[in-house]
Amino acid sequence: MSQNHTDPIPATDHAPVESLMHEHRLFAPSAEFVAQANVSDPAIYDEADADPEAWWASWAEKLSWVEPWTTVCEFNAPDAKWFVGGKLNVCYNCVDRHAEADPNRRAIVWEGEPGDDRTITFGELKDEISQLANALKAMGVGKGDRVSIYMPMVPELAMAMLACARIGAAHSVVFGGFTAESLQERTNDAQCKAIITADGGWRRGSAVPLLKITRAALELGCPTVEKVLVLRRTGMDEIDRHDERFVSWHHVVPEQSTDCPCEPMDSEDMLFILYTSGSTGKPKGVVHTTGGYLTGVSATAKLVFDLKPDDLHFCTADCGWITGHSYIVYGPLANGATVLMYEGAPDTPDKDRFWQIIEKHRATILYTAPTAIRTFMKWGDEYPNRCDLSSLRLLGSVGEPINPEAWIWYHETIGKGNCPLVDTWWQTETGAIMVTPLPGITVAKPGSATHPFPGISIRVLTEEGHGPDIRGPKAEPASSGFLVIDRPWPSMTRGIFGDHDRFIKTYWSRFDGKYFAGDGISLDEDGYLWLLGRVDDIMLVAGHNISTMEVESALVSHPAVAEAAVIGKTHDVKGQAISAFVTLRAGIHGDEALEKTLKKHVGEKIGPIARPDDIFFSAELPKTRSGKIMRRLLRDVAEGRALGDTTTLADPSVVNALKNVYEDKEG
C-alpha cells in the first residue's frame, strides 16, 4: 500500500445507527496528507469549544477590516449580531486584496459547455467587477438596493455577485432553471431594483432562453424593477431597444472606469438574500449579512477543503444555490484560491465531461452531490477511467445523506483511494458547513458526516428537548432525534426577508432559543453523527429542496385538479423522487395524457426540478377524521411497503383503493 493511501482501519463492531449499508471500514487520512494539512491537531475542537467567540474572532481577524468591531457577538435568540461595529467590504476581501498581492494569480478558471474556456486573474477580476459595479451605479443601483441575478454559470455571474457586494447592494440569485413565475415571485418579494440576466445559457446542447423568461416575468409584473442588464452569451436573443429598462452589458460595462471604490459595509449589513423552499409553499428569502457570513465561509473553506492558494477548487453546484455562493464564490476567493466554474451538464457532449474538465484543468478538489455520484456510478466506471484524475487530492459531498455505496465508489473510483472524502452537512440558512470531517484529523465512516465543525454546537434532541452531550466522554448509544444548534455562529441567517414571524416559527419555536434545522439525526456509540433526512414537508430531490406544498399548490392551480397530496419517495439516484396523488374534479377522467399535462404544468409553474416523477389519480385521499392527509400512508403506498397504522383514518378503504391503483400502474 502506498504511503499516500487513505488507509482503511479495522472497524469497531458497533454498527452505525440506521446505516444504509453494512460498511464497517473506517478511513483515516494518510500520513502524507496529514503532514501538509491546514490543520492536523485535534486540539482545535477543544480550543474552539473553550471560547467560541475568541475562536471565531481569530478567523474574522484574517479578513481585512476598514474599521474593527467592538463586540464579537450579541445574541438574543433568534437575533444575532457578529463583529458588531466592524466595517468591511466582501468584494475587497475576495478580490482586491489578492489582486494587490499578486494580480496575475488565477481567480476563476471557467469552462463553457460548448468547450470554450477562460481564465481570469485576480487583477482582471478586480477591473471587470469595478466596471460592472460602475455600470450598476449608472443604472441607479446603490447601497441598500436589491438586485436579482438570473444568469447561466458564466464568470459574469460571479462578477455580478461581487459587483453588488462592492457597491453595497444585496443580490438575490435566482437559479437559471426556475420559471418566469418563480423569478417574478422572488424579484417582487425582495423588491429588486434591477435584474441582471443573459440572453441565454447552454445546457445539454440547447440554449436556455433566460432573456425571454425574464421578459415574461416582467410581463407578469415586477413593479420595483427599473433596469435589466443583459449579457450576451448564446447570441439567441436581442435586448428590446424600444424598452428603456433594457441595457446591453456589452454596450455599457466595457465603457466604465476600472476604478470603483469598495463601499465600507457594516458587519451586519445584508450581503444577499437567497430563496429556499419553505414547508408552507411560499419560498423563504434567507438573509445573510457581511462580516459573519464571510468569516464562516472563509474559515470552513480553508479547514474543510484544506484549501491552499495553489488549489484549483471545482465545486459543481450552480451559483443559484447556497453551495455556489459559499464554495464557488465567497469561501474560496476569500482564501485567494482559484475556482473552477463549469457552465453545463455532466453528460455533454459525453458522460465523462466532469472527468475531462478535471484532467484538462488539473483540478485538485472536487465538491459535488450524492445524486451526481450515484448517476456517475450508474453510467459506469469507463467514463472516469478514461481520464487522468491524479490531480485530485480531496473530495467533498453535500446536499443529502451520502449512502455508503456511493461514498466507497467516490473514494475508490474518483479518488483512487488517495483522497480524504468530506461529507458536509449544512443548509442555506446556516450559510457555511456545520457538520463535517476535518480532512487532516477525522477518521471517516462512510455515510456519516462525522462531527460538528469546531465552534459549532450541535445537539441531538428528542421531542421533549432531551439529548446527550455529543462531545461527552461517552455518547449515549443509538440516540436519535432532531438536529438542533444551541449556540450562535457567525454565518447563521439573520432572518427571512420581510417575515420575521415566519423565521421565529420555522426555526426557533420548536426548541426555545435554539435553532431547529428540520433534519433528523442520530449519534452512534463512537460519537459519529448520521443525518437521517428531513423531518418536515421538504423533499430532497437530487439534492434540491422542494416543498410538498409548493408542488401541491402548482397541481391544484390546474383546472382539472380538485386536490393533491405530494410526497418524496425513496429513489436510488435522486435520493427522493416526487410522487403526487391527485383527485380530479367531477367528470374529469385521469389518463396518461392528463398525467403528462399535469407534470408539464408543474414544470412550467415551478421549474423542471419540481416535475412529479409519477402521478396517481384517486377518487379520494387518505385523511384523518380531522381532515389531515396522512402522508405517511402515501409514502407506504408509493414505496410499496405494508401499510402502517390506518386506524386514525376517516375511511380506511381509501388507502387500499389507492394501493390498488398504485399496484396496477407499477405492474
Residue 284 beta carbon to ligand PRX: minimum distance, rounded to whole angstroms: 10
Closer to ligand PRX by Cβ: residue 174 or 594: 174
| Cβ contacts of 351 within 8 Å, gap of 6 or more | 376, 379, 383
Closer to ligand PRX by Cβ: residue 113 or 318: 318
User: Rounded to an integer, what distance in angstroms lies between the CA atom of residue 471 and that of residue 168?
Assistant: 40
Residue 206 beta carbon to ligand PRX: minimum distance, rounded to whole angstroms: 26
* 571-603 burial code (b ≥16 CB/10 A, e <16): bebbbbbbbbbbbbeeeeebeeebbeebbebbb
| Residue for grid cell 439529548 | 467
Please report which residue ranges of 557-591 form alpha helices under DSSP H: none
Residue 593 beta carbon to ligand PRX: minimum distance, rounded to whole angstroms: 34
304: nearest Cα among 399, 439, 432: 439
Residue 401 beta carbon to ligand PRX: minimum distance, rounded to whole angstroms: 4
Residue 466 beta carbon to ligand PRX: minimum distance, rounded to whole angstroms: 22
Strands of 254-324, DSSP E: 265-266, 270-276, 284-289, 312-315
Strands of 122-184, DSSP E: 146-150, 170-173
Closer to ligand PRX by Cβ: residue 197 or 368: 368
Closer to ligand PRX by Cβ: residue 344 or 370: 370
Closer to ligand PRX by Cβ: residue 228 or 419: 419
User: Rounded to an integer, what distance in angstroms lies between the CA atom of residue 192 and that of residue 183?
Assistant: 11
598 membership: H or E segment, kind and range: helix 592-605
Closer to ligand PRX by Cβ: residue 229 or 460: 460
- Longest CA pairwise span in the chain (Å): 72
Closer to ligand PRX by Cβ: residue 368 or 424: 424
Closer to ligand PRX by Cβ: residue 65 or 367: 367
Quick check: 520 and 540 in contact, CB under 8 A?
Answer: no
Residue 369 beta carbon to ligand PRX: minimum distance, rounded to whole angstroms: 8
Cell reading at 278: 419553505
Residue 651 beta carbon to ligand PRX: minimum distance, rounded to whole angstroms: 33
User: Rounded to an integer, what distance in angstroms lies between the CA atom of residue 285 and that of residue 287?
Assistant: 6
Residue 235 beta carbon to ligand PRX: minimum distance, rounded to whole angstroms: 33
Closer to ligand PRX by Cβ: residue 247 or 566: 566
Closer to ligand PRX by Cβ: residue 534 or 605: 534
Residue 229 pairs with which residues in a beta bridge?
Answer: 196, 247
* 389-414 burial code (b ≥16 CB/10 A, e <16): beebbbbbbbbbbbbbbbbbbbbebb
In degrees, rounded to 5, the angle at the alpha carbon of residue 484 between the alpha carbons of residues 479 and 487 is 125
Closer to ligand PRX by Cβ: residue 431 or 590: 431
User: Rounded to an integer, what distance in angstroms lies between the CA atom of residue 523 and that of residue 450?
Assistant: 9
- DSSP codes joined into one string, 4-46: TS--EEPPPS-PPTT-SS----EEPPPHHHHHH-S---THHHH
* 502-531 burial code (b ≥16 CB/10 A, e <16): bbeebbbebbeebbbbbbbbbbbbbebbbb
Residue 207 pairs with which residues in a beta bridge?
Answer: 202
Residue 396 beta carbon to ligand PRX: minimum distance, rounded to whole angstroms: 9
The interaxial angle of helices 180-189 and 210-221, nearest 10 deg, is 60
Residue 421 beta carbon to ligand PRX: minimum distance, rounded to whole angstroms: 11
Residue 323 beta carbon to ligand PRX: minimum distance, rounded to whole angstroms: 5
Residue 423 beta carbon to ligand PRX: minimum distance, rounded to whole angstroms: 5
Closer to ligand PRX by Cβ: residue 246 or 482: 482
User: Rounded to an integer, what distance in angstroms lies between the CA atom of residue 181 and that of residue 193?
Assistant: 17
User: Rounded to an integer, what distance in angstroms lies between the CA atom of residue 544 and that of residue 80?
Assistant: 27
Closer to ligand PRX by Cβ: residue 87 or 569: 569
User: Rounded to an integer, what distance in angstroms lies between the CA atom of residue 489 and that of residue 80?
Assistant: 9
Residue 239 beta carbon to ligand PRX: minimum distance, rounded to whole angstroms: 32
Counting every residue, how long is the chain? Answer: 667
Alpha-carbon distance values, 30 to 12, 34, 388 (Å) = 20, 6, 21
Residue 582 beta carbon to ligand PRX: minimum distance, rounded to whole angstroms: 26
Residue 333 beta carbon to ligand PRX: minimum distance, rounded to whole angstroms: 18
556: nearest Cα among 621, 646, 495: 621
Quick check: 122 and 108 in contact, CB under 8 A?
Answer: no
User: Rounded to an integer, what distance in angstroms lies between the CA atom of residue 318 and that of residue 626?
Assistant: 42
Binding site residues, ligand PRX, CB under 6 A: 276, 322-323, 398-401, 423-428, 449, 517-519, 531, 534, 540, 545
Closer to ligand PRX by Cβ: residue 122 or 407: 407
Closer to ligand PRX by Cβ: residue 176 or 518: 518
Quick check: 422 and 395 in contact, CB under 8 A?
Answer: yes
Closer to ligand PRX by Cβ: residue 128 or 519: 519
Residue 474 beta carbon to ligand PRX: minimum distance, rounded to whole angstroms: 25
